[in-house]
A = this chain, B = another copy of it.
Amino acid sequence: MSDWLISLLQEMGATLRLPVSFVVIEFVGTFAFALSGIRLASAKHFDIFGAWIVGMATAIGGGTLRDFMLGVNPFWMTNGIYFICCALAVVWVMAFGKYLIRQSNTWFIFDTIGLALFNVIGIEKTLNMGFPYWTAITMGSITGAAGGVIRDVFINEVPLIFRKEIYALACVAGGIVYMLCNMAGMSPEVNALLSIFTVMVMRILAVKYKWHLPILQGEEEK
Protein backbone atom coordinates (compact mmCIF):
# COMPACT_ATOMS: atom_id res chain seq x y z
CA MET A 1 0.00 0.00 0.00
CA SER A 2 1.47 3.34 -1.01
CA ASP A 3 2.46 6.03 1.48
CA TRP A 4 -0.14 8.28 -0.10
CA LEU A 5 -2.91 5.85 0.67
CA ILE A 6 -1.79 5.28 4.25
CA SER A 7 -1.61 9.02 4.92
CA LEU A 8 -5.05 9.44 3.34
CA LEU A 9 -6.45 6.71 5.56
CA GLN A 10 -4.79 8.23 8.63
CA GLU A 11 -6.29 11.59 7.76
CA MET A 12 -9.72 10.01 7.41
CA GLY A 13 -9.19 8.22 10.73
CA ALA A 14 -8.15 11.49 12.40
CA THR A 15 -11.27 13.20 11.08
CA LEU A 16 -13.48 10.44 12.39
CA ARG A 17 -11.34 9.76 15.49
CA LEU A 18 -11.07 6.18 14.39
CA PRO A 19 -8.01 3.96 14.02
CA VAL A 20 -6.75 3.09 10.51
CA SER A 21 -8.25 -0.40 10.69
CA PHE A 22 -11.71 1.17 11.07
CA VAL A 23 -11.08 3.32 8.01
CA VAL A 24 -10.34 0.23 5.94
CA ILE A 25 -13.56 -1.33 7.25
CA GLU A 26 -15.43 1.86 6.42
CA PHE A 27 -14.13 1.75 2.85
CA VAL A 28 -15.22 -1.88 2.45
CA GLY A 29 -18.58 -1.11 4.07
CA THR A 30 -19.13 1.82 1.71
CA PHE A 31 -18.23 -0.45 -1.21
CA ALA A 32 -20.71 -3.10 -0.02
CA PHE A 33 -23.50 -0.54 0.43
CA ALA A 34 -22.81 0.92 -3.03
CA LEU A 35 -22.87 -2.60 -4.53
CA SER A 36 -26.37 -3.20 -3.17
CA GLY A 37 -27.60 -0.01 -4.81
CA ILE A 38 -25.87 -0.66 -8.12
CA ARG A 39 -27.18 -4.22 -8.34
CA LEU A 40 -30.76 -3.02 -7.87
CA ALA A 41 -30.15 -0.21 -10.37
CA SER A 42 -28.86 -2.71 -12.89
CA ALA A 43 -32.01 -4.82 -12.45
CA LYS A 44 -33.94 -1.69 -13.51
CA HIS A 45 -31.62 -1.08 -16.49
CA PHE A 46 -30.16 2.18 -15.23
CA ASP A 47 -27.21 3.54 -17.19
CA ILE A 48 -23.79 3.53 -15.52
CA PHE A 49 -24.07 7.15 -14.38
CA GLY A 50 -27.51 6.50 -12.85
CA ALA A 51 -26.15 3.36 -11.19
CA TRP A 52 -23.27 5.37 -9.74
CA ILE A 53 -25.73 7.91 -8.30
CA VAL A 54 -27.90 5.17 -6.79
CA GLY A 55 -24.78 3.49 -5.39
CA MET A 56 -23.71 6.77 -3.79
CA ALA A 57 -27.21 7.48 -2.46
CA THR A 58 -27.16 4.05 -0.80
CA ALA A 59 -23.65 4.38 0.61
CA ILE A 60 -23.55 8.03 1.69
CA GLY A 61 -27.24 9.00 1.78
CA GLY A 62 -27.73 8.02 5.42
CA GLY A 63 -24.70 9.98 6.60
CA THR A 64 -25.78 12.94 4.48
CA LEU A 65 -29.24 13.02 6.07
CA ARG A 66 -27.63 12.71 9.52
CA ASP A 67 -25.34 15.65 8.76
CA PHE A 68 -28.32 17.75 7.58
CA MET A 69 -29.93 17.05 10.95
CA LEU A 70 -26.76 17.79 12.90
CA GLY A 71 -26.40 21.04 10.95
CA VAL A 72 -22.96 20.31 9.46
CA ASN A 73 -21.75 19.94 5.87
CA PRO A 74 -22.13 16.36 4.60
CA PHE A 75 -19.02 14.38 5.51
CA TRP A 76 -18.14 13.50 1.90
CA MET A 77 -17.88 17.12 0.71
CA THR A 78 -14.28 17.39 1.85
CA ASN A 79 -13.14 13.86 1.02
CA GLY A 80 -13.44 12.40 -2.45
CA ILE A 81 -12.71 8.83 -1.38
CA TYR A 82 -16.42 7.95 -1.11
CA PHE A 83 -17.13 8.93 -4.71
CA ILE A 84 -14.14 6.93 -5.90
CA CYS A 85 -15.23 3.96 -3.81
CA CYS A 86 -18.70 4.02 -5.41
CA ALA A 87 -17.22 4.38 -8.89
CA LEU A 88 -15.09 1.29 -8.19
CA ALA A 89 -18.27 -0.54 -7.17
CA VAL A 90 -19.81 0.30 -10.58
CA VAL A 91 -16.71 -1.11 -12.30
CA TRP A 92 -16.95 -4.20 -10.09
CA VAL A 93 -20.58 -4.83 -11.12
CA MET A 94 -19.69 -4.33 -14.81
CA ALA A 95 -16.72 -6.69 -14.54
CA PHE A 96 -18.04 -9.37 -12.20
CA GLY A 97 -21.81 -8.97 -12.61
CA LYS A 98 -22.42 -12.62 -13.31
CA TYR A 99 -20.37 -13.76 -10.32
CA LEU A 100 -22.08 -11.41 -7.85
CA ILE A 101 -24.76 -13.92 -6.89
CA ARG A 102 -22.07 -16.42 -5.98
CA GLN A 103 -20.35 -13.66 -3.94
CA SER A 104 -23.59 -12.89 -2.11
CA ASN A 105 -22.56 -14.28 1.26
CA THR A 106 -19.31 -12.35 1.18
CA TRP A 107 -21.05 -9.08 0.40
CA PHE A 108 -23.72 -9.76 3.00
CA ILE A 109 -20.98 -9.90 5.62
CA PHE A 110 -19.36 -6.68 4.37
CA ASP A 111 -22.77 -4.99 4.19
CA THR A 112 -23.42 -5.99 7.79
CA ILE A 113 -20.00 -4.77 8.91
CA GLY A 114 -20.69 -1.49 7.11
CA LEU A 115 -24.08 -1.14 8.80
CA ALA A 116 -22.56 -1.77 12.23
CA LEU A 117 -19.69 0.67 11.64
CA PHE A 118 -21.84 3.42 10.12
CA ASN A 119 -24.10 3.10 13.15
CA VAL A 120 -21.22 3.67 15.58
CA ILE A 121 -19.86 6.57 13.49
CA GLY A 122 -23.29 8.24 13.61
CA ILE A 123 -23.63 7.68 17.36
CA GLU A 124 -20.17 9.06 18.19
CA LYS A 125 -20.53 12.10 15.91
CA THR A 126 -23.86 12.98 17.55
CA LEU A 127 -22.64 12.46 21.12
CA ASN A 128 -19.56 14.60 20.39
CA MET A 129 -21.93 17.44 19.46
CA GLY A 130 -23.59 17.26 22.88
CA PHE A 131 -26.92 15.63 22.01
CA PRO A 132 -28.55 13.12 24.39
CA TYR A 133 -28.21 9.34 23.99
CA TRP A 134 -31.57 8.71 22.34
CA THR A 135 -30.81 11.32 19.67
CA ALA A 136 -27.42 9.66 19.09
CA ILE A 137 -29.06 6.24 18.74
CA THR A 138 -31.53 7.73 16.25
CA MET A 139 -28.71 9.33 14.26
CA GLY A 140 -26.79 6.04 14.26
CA SER A 141 -29.79 4.22 12.80
CA ILE A 142 -30.30 6.97 10.20
CA THR A 143 -26.62 6.76 9.23
CA GLY A 144 -26.91 3.02 8.76
CA ALA A 145 -30.40 2.56 7.36
CA ALA A 146 -31.57 5.74 5.58
CA GLY A 147 -29.32 5.13 2.56
CA GLY A 148 -31.28 1.97 1.77
CA VAL A 149 -34.54 3.91 1.96
CA ILE A 150 -33.27 6.57 -0.47
CA ARG A 151 -32.05 3.77 -2.77
CA ASP A 152 -35.51 2.18 -2.83
CA VAL A 153 -37.21 5.53 -3.45
CA PHE A 154 -34.86 6.11 -6.41
CA ILE A 155 -35.64 2.72 -7.95
CA ASN A 156 -39.35 3.34 -7.25
CA GLU A 157 -39.96 0.43 -4.87
CA VAL A 158 -41.50 0.35 -1.40
CA PRO A 159 -38.47 0.54 0.93
CA LEU A 160 -37.37 -2.99 1.79
CA ILE A 161 -36.48 -2.23 5.39
CA PHE A 162 -40.05 -1.16 6.16
CA ARG A 163 -41.36 -4.58 5.23
CA LYS A 164 -38.69 -7.17 5.81
CA GLU A 165 -35.58 -7.93 7.76
CA ILE A 166 -34.25 -6.74 11.07
CA TYR A 167 -32.11 -3.85 9.87
CA ALA A 168 -32.70 -0.50 11.54
CA LEU A 169 -33.69 -2.38 14.70
CA ALA A 170 -30.22 -4.00 14.79
CA CYS A 171 -28.82 -0.45 14.73
CA VAL A 172 -31.04 0.53 17.65
CA ALA A 173 -29.87 -2.53 19.60
CA GLY A 174 -26.25 -1.65 18.84
CA GLY A 175 -26.93 1.91 19.93
CA ILE A 176 -28.39 0.79 23.26
CA VAL A 177 -25.34 -1.42 23.87
CA TYR A 178 -23.10 1.57 23.11
CA MET A 179 -25.06 3.71 25.56
CA LEU A 180 -24.97 1.12 28.35
CA CYS A 181 -21.22 0.55 27.90
CA ASN A 182 -20.59 4.29 27.86
CA MET A 183 -22.66 4.76 31.03
CA ALA A 184 -20.67 1.95 32.64
CA GLY A 185 -17.51 3.95 32.00
CA MET A 186 -15.91 1.71 29.40
CA SER A 187 -13.44 3.15 26.88
CA PRO A 188 -14.79 4.42 23.51
CA GLU A 189 -12.95 1.63 21.68
CA VAL A 190 -14.66 -1.09 23.74
CA ASN A 191 -18.05 0.64 23.36
CA ALA A 192 -17.62 0.74 19.60
CA LEU A 193 -16.50 -2.88 19.31
CA LEU A 194 -19.31 -4.24 21.49
CA SER A 195 -21.87 -2.15 19.57
CA ILE A 196 -20.53 -3.39 16.23
CA PHE A 197 -20.58 -6.95 17.51
CA THR A 198 -24.21 -6.57 18.65
CA VAL A 199 -25.41 -5.22 15.31
CA MET A 200 -23.60 -7.95 13.36
CA VAL A 201 -24.80 -10.83 15.53
CA MET A 202 -28.37 -9.57 15.56
CA ARG A 203 -28.50 -9.07 11.80
CA ILE A 204 -26.79 -12.37 10.98
CA LEU A 205 -29.09 -14.32 13.31
CA ALA A 206 -32.13 -12.47 11.93
CA VAL A 207 -31.28 -13.43 8.35
CA LYS A 208 -30.25 -16.99 9.25
CA TYR A 209 -33.39 -17.73 11.24
CA LYS A 210 -35.67 -15.49 9.16
CA TRP A 211 -36.60 -13.38 12.18
CA HIS A 212 -38.94 -10.58 11.39
CA LEU A 213 -41.10 -8.13 13.28
CA PRO A 214 -44.90 -8.49 13.41
CA ILE A 215 -46.49 -7.36 10.16
CA LEU A 216 -49.44 -4.99 10.40
CA GLN A 217 -52.60 -6.13 8.68
CA GLY A 218 -54.38 -3.64 6.46
CA GLU A 219 -57.91 -2.62 7.40
CA GLU A 220 -59.44 -3.55 4.07
CA GLU A 221 -58.84 -7.21 4.74
CA LYS A 222 -60.94 -7.31 7.88
Contact = CB atoms under 8 A, between A and B. Distances in A.
Interface hub of A80, A93, A219 (most chain B Cβ within 10 A) = A219
Interface string A69-95: 111111001101001000000000110
Contacts of A51: 162, 216
Residue with the greatest number of chain B CB neighbours at <10 A, chosen from A138, A162, A219: A162
Nearest to A164: B47
A132 to B, nearest CB: 8
Given A46-B216, A78-B131, A78-B135, A159 B154 contact: yes
Kindly report how many copies of this chain are found in the complex they form together: 3
A163 B45 contact: yes
B154 A149 contact: yes
A75 to B, nearest CB: 11
Nearest to A38: B216
B78 A216 contact: no
Contacts of A219: 39, 42-43, 97-98, 100-101
Interface of A: 38-39, 41-51, 53-54, 64, 68-74, 77-78, 80, 83, 93-94, 97-98, 100-101, 131-132, 134-135, 138, 149, 153-159, 161-164, 168-169, 212-220, 222
Contact of A162 (B54, B101, B216): B54
Given A47-B162, A163-B50, A164-B47, A72 B74 contact: no
A102 to B, nearest CB: 11
B215 A47 contact: yes
Highest count of chain B CB atoms <10 Å: which of A38, A50, A131:
A50
B78 A162 contact: no
